[in-house]
Amino acid sequence: MNGLNTQCVTPPNVLFAKQRRSRLDICFELLEVVWAKEEIKPTQLMYKANLSWRMLSETLSYLSERDLVNFHASGNRRTVALTEKGKACLQRLHEARSALIPEPEAVVGEFGQVERVLPPAVPLPLDGDSSMRAM
């Protein structure tokens, strides 16, 4: 044997495949970052959310039109903050995400350290289950 693990089912390039974020994912991430910082400069938000300036500007305009974020100006400093409607929206998005994607379970070792994280168990439809076909 050459010492390589030949039982690897997933090719290595698939493990690190990068998926594009949806507009909803980007909005959700921006709302989370703004909520965590309370007020943040747009440039800092751009770096934290890993967005281009153009994409950040478009998404902030979209969120501002829906009264989810607002802008504050103090001298030459401009910041972004969540509105009450934005906080409520973020709360509902968290609830929806947790209902759809259960949290992974951690296996705790003898000394209280996390040994590994198990993926969430998602029930798969049975072959004879016709409820999923109607979608």
Torsion, CA 77, CA 93, CA 123, CA 113, rounded to 10? 50
pLDDT in tens, 67-88: 999 999 988 889 999 999 999 9
Report d(CA 21, CA 14) in Å as an integer. 17
Distance of CA 42 to the CA centre of its chain: 19
- Compute the average pLDDT of residues 22-39: 88
pLDDT in tens, 77-117: 899 999 999 999 988 888 888 777 766 666 666 666 655 65
Task: Give the contacts of 115 (CB within 8 A, at least 6 positions apart).
Answer: 107, 108, 109
Domain boundaries 23-96, corresponding CATH code: 1.10.10.10
* DSSP 8-state class, residue 74: E
Cβ atoms of 41 and 78 closer than 8 Å: yes
